[in-house]
Amino acid sequence: MIDTPTVADMLEDRPELMADIAKQQPIKRFGRAKEIAAAGLWFCSPAADTAAQFRSRFDTWAVTCDNAPAGVGVSAGL
């Protein structure tokens, strides 16, 4: 759940529900809009391209290995 003005308005009179929802989040709080924006910017950055290249190389390596880990390369159906 992302903390936006709309969400804040919906939960304004229900602090117990807001606390329960926050507890269910992996980070134990509501996400912030600026965190979503930062993730979007990262995906458009050269750093994301480098991460994608690493993943591609790893998958290529896994395809050529007889013992590729489950969920990677040949064992993932790639």
Q: Based on the fold, state whether residues 36 and 56 are members of the same structural domain.
A: no
Q: Based on the fold, state whether residues 31 and 67 are members of the same structural domain.
A: no
pTM to 2 decimal places: 0.53
Q: Based on the fold, state whether residues 38 and 58 are members of the same structural domain.
A: no
The answer to whether residue 63 scores a pLDDT higher than 50 is no
For range 51-62, the mean pLDDT: 56
Q: Based on the fold, state whether residues 28 and 63 are members of the same structural domain.
A: no
Angle at 26 between CA 10 and CA 17, to 5 degrees: 30
| Mean pLDDT score of the chain | 76
Q: Based on the fold, state whether residues 34 and 57 are members of the same structural domain.
A: no
The answer to whether residue 78 scores a pLDDT higher than 70 is no
Q: Based on the fold, state whether residues 54 and 18 are members of the same structural domain.
A: no
Question: Structural domain of residue 17, as residue ranges?
Answer: 1-44
Q: Based on the fold, state whether residues 38 and 59 are members of the same structural domain.
A: no
For range 7-18, the mean pLDDT: 93
Q: Based on the fold, state whether residues 32 and 65 are members of the same structural domain.
A: no
**CB distance 18 to 11 below 8 Å:** yes
Tokens of 3: 């903390």
Q: Based on the fold, state whether residues 20 and 57 are members of the same structural domain.
A: no
The answer to whether residue 33 scores a pLDDT higher than 80 is yes
